[in-house]
């Protein structure tokens, strides 16, 4: 019954977001999986593909507060977290919250910020709190960071360190729409932007219930072993310099549960794991310098592992 709850919740959110984001159902599904797993997403794509609109549509669908942080090289950590300002009247310091104190936070062009500013966001993502002048402030629930970075432009950027990349549950890309969908986008925006008519379709309470229901999805010992073996292969592959960490195994486990529940199942299939392996693991795998010279990507390495690793047989339902 709880899986039906997750399925209904996901359908409502996906269908609502698709009123604005045209022809990208698979990507929107991954965003909802990230939401159900209480994870953060890295959206890597060229400008103008709808990254900001995706984050705003998600926040509007959930009735959550939304903020956008445009990262620049001169940005300070306090520009993200907030500052303590001395109030002359009360003779006390008052905390002025920064843009990170929202439920859905879009961190635009995160790789333009200096490592120090990136680290401020890292604490918020991992600990779900910020510390300003020694005082800890809890972040609102739900809390989700959707960070974007441009894969083409390297001028004036600070590549995300491995530790920070590892904090993202999934890495996704929207990509360009096909011809028919691009025509549909133009037609939909002829008179007004469809985002203006977007309404809240689920409550935060329903989101919390769905997140709890996902945790109850059964993962058989055979599927758990398949997950761990898949991640171990990334560490042992001849063309890999750094493989996925145990956080990668956990990400694959949790997203597998969410995907199964969204499809109305109370158990995870190997197909769920195969479908999510690249979005959850590719950004955690660093190909060796020799492999990079030959244009071998992390995605290709993971696909190769999926093709050769035996899929568990037997009963995975209970």
Tell me, what's the pLDDT at 280?
93
123 within a domain of the structure (yes/no): yes
Same domain, yes or no, for 156 and 26? Answer: yes
Same domain, yes or no, for 240 and 273? Answer: yes
Strands 170-172, 82-87: pairing is unpaired
Same domain, yes or no, for 154 and 26? Answer: yes
- Token duo for residue 24: 């990208």
Residue 232 sits in which domain range? 217-308
Same domain, yes or no, for 136 and 269? Answer: no
31 within a domain of the structure (yes/no): yes
Same domain, yes or no, for 137 and 229? Answer: no
Same domain, yes or no, for 205 and 252? Answer: no
Q: Is 132 helix (H, G, I), strand (E, B) or coil?
A: strand
Tell me, what's the pLDDT at 82?
83
Tell me, what's the pLDDT at 316?
66
What predicted TM-score, i.e. pTM, was given to this entire model? 0.88
314 within a domain of the structure (yes/no): no
162 within a domain of the structure (yes/no): yes
For residues 45 and 147, give the distance between their C-alpha atoms in angstroms, rounded to a whole number.
11
- Mean pLDDT per block of 10 residues along the chain (318 residues) reads 79 87 86 92 81 87 89 87 82 83 89 84 84 82 87 67 84 84 80 80 88 90 92 86 87 94 90 92 86 81 88 71
Same domain, yes or no, for 57 and 156? Answer: yes
For residues 206 and 225, give the distance between their C-alpha atoms in angstroms, rounded to a whole number.
32
Same domain, yes or no, for 40 and 132? Answer: yes
Tell me, what's the pLDDT at 152?
59
181 within a domain of the structure (yes/no): yes
CATH number for the domain spanning 103: value is: 3.40.50.300
Same domain, yes or no, for 98 and 183? Answer: yes
DSSP 8-state code for residue 139:
P
316 within a domain of the structure (yes/no): no
């Amino acid at each position: 019954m709880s899986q039906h709850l997750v399925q209904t919740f996901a359908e409502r959110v996906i269908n609502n977001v698709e009123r604005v984001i045209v022809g990208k159902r698979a990507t929107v599904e991954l965003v909802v999986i990230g939401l159900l797993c209480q994870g953060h997403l890295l959206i890597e794509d060229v400008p103008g593909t709808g990254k900001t609109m995706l984050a705003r549509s998600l926040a509007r669908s959930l009735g959550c507060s939304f903020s956008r942080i445009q990262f620049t090289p001169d940005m300070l950590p306090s520009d993200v977290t907030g500052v303590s300002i001395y109030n002359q009247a009360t003779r006390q310091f008052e905390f002025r919250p920064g843009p990170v104190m929202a439920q859905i936070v879009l961190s635009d062009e995160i790789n333009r910020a200096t490592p120090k500013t990136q680290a401020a966001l890292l604490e918020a993502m991992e600990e779900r709190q910020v510390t300003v002048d020694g005082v800890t402030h809890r972040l609102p629930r739900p809390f989700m960071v959707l960070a974007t970075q441009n894969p083409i432009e390297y001028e004036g950027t600070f590549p995300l360190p491995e530790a920070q990349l590892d904090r993202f549950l999934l890495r996704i890309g929207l990509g360009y729409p096909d011809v028919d969908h691009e025509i549909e986008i133009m037609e939909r925006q002829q008179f007004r932007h469809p985002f203006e008519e977007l309404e809240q379709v689920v409550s935060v309470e329903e989101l919390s219930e769905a997140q709890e229901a996902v945790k109850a999805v059964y993962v058989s010992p055979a599927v758990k072993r398949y997950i761990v073996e898949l991640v171990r292969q990334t560490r042992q592959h001849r063309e890999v310099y750094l493989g996925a960490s145990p956080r990668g195994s956990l990400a694959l486990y949790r997203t597998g549960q969410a995907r199964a529940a969204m499809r109305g199942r109370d158990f995870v299939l190997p197909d769920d794991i195969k479908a999510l392996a690249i979005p959850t693991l590719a950004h955690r795998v660093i190909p060796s310098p020799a492999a990079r010279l030959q244009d071998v990507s992390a995605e290709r390495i993971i696909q190769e592992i999926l093709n050769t690793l035996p899929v568990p047989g037997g009963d995975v339902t209970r």
